[in-house]
Amino acid sequence: MSLPKSPTPIIRNPGTALDLDWVFAVQANTSAIERRCKSLPARRSVKKENQAAWLLKAISCIDLTTLSGDDTGNRVRRLCQKAKHPVRSDLLHSLGIQPNSITTGAICVYHEMVSAAVSALKGSEIPVAAVSTGFPAGLSPYTFRVGEIGESVKAGAKEIDIVISRRHVLSQNWQALYEEMNDFRDACGEAHVKAILATGELGTLRNVARASLICMMGGADFIKTSTGKEKVNATLPVSLTMTRQIRDYHEKTGYMVGYKPAGGISKAKDAITYLSLIKEELGDRWLYPDLFRFGASSLLGDIERQLEHFTTGHYSADYRHAMG
């Protein structure tokens, strides 16, 4: 089994002028979206070698995440070691994969843990992503939110996961959302910005679709479903809605924007379903970590269990695949 070569780098999305005619033309047929999503898991079942290959692909797209109030430097450092060595070497050998040839896509932490993560990942190519702008509610003073981005970039974060102001979407204040996204993008500088929509709090799929488009117009490098703290996080209908906006944006502007479902994705079979959705809606180029990420923690453990089952024929206990 061999890993695919890295793709040609993309041109970063610079954003566009706010086009409200385009925004107001966006609709979402909820019943059709849900019908399409229900059919996807059954139609895209993969087995054996193909399943193992898809699971290795999923690992390379994970933002391995810890966002707990009791995070410590030692916990983050252990997580970084897991990011560098996400699968046991004996399993990789059985799969014909060279050790150290696969890592997770990034480590995602709070600002206070950025320096510990940067230090632990020194010498690797794994970026550190910091959640920012008053994560998860996004209700701290605006100057604090913008300033927090700058502090995380100074600390070494290469990616910033910002949260939008949900009230702008719920009140249909698209101008305010666009300006906010512009400010956050400017504060990120060279660091890539992922715009978290908190879709479980936006009310309708039409709101999700329009907010997705506004954030891309404002210069988002990624659009992301959730903070992981809402009652409803990543779902297939939300993912289909957002990826179709990404496809439309690419068709009209030529710029590729990434997608990150986050929260509630903990099973290997679900990861394959999401990858299948991305392949069908956006194409193979989006199946790389510069354009697709899972926001997850426990997902990696279940994927490793599935890989062990593939190589040995037996399922192992969860404790054999700890995160650190």
pLDDT tens per residue, range 40-83: 877 656 778 889 999 999 999 999 999 999 999 999 999 999 99
Query: What sign results for the dihedral spanned by CA atoms 263, 266, 272, 273?
Result: negative
Phi, psi of 218 (to 5 degrees): -80, 0
Active site residues: 161, 224, 260
Q: How high is the pLDDT of residue 245?
A: 98
Residue 64 in contact with residue 108, Cβ under 8 Å? yes
- Distance between the two ends of the chain, CA-based, in angstroms? 27
Burial 276-300 (b: 16+ CB within 10 A, else e): bbbbebbeebbbbbbbbbbbbbebb
Residue-level pLDDT, tens digit, the chain, 324 residues: 656 667 889 999 999 999 999 999 999 999 999 999 998 877 656 778 889 999 999 999 999 999 999 999 999 999 999 999 999 999 999 999 988 889 999 999 999 999 999 999 999 999 999 999 999 999 999 999 999 999 999 999 999 999 999 999 999 999 999 999 999 999 999 999 999 999 999 999 999 999 999 999 999 999 999 999 999 999 999 999 999 999 999 999 999 999 999 999 999 999 999 999 999 999 999 999 999 999 988 999 999 999 998 888 877 766 666 665
Phi, psi of 129 (to 5 degrees): -110, 135
Q: How high is the pLDDT of residue 195?
A: 98
Q: 3-state class of 45 per DSSP?
A: coil
**Would you say domain 20-321 falls under CATH 3.20.20.70?**
yes
Q: Where are the domains of the chain?
A: 20-321
Residue 1 in contact with residue 307, Cβ under 8 Å? no
Query: What sign results for the dihedral spanned by CA atoms 300, 292, 162, 177?
Result: negative
Specify the amino acid at residue 168.
H
Q: How high is the pLDDT of residue 317?
A: 67
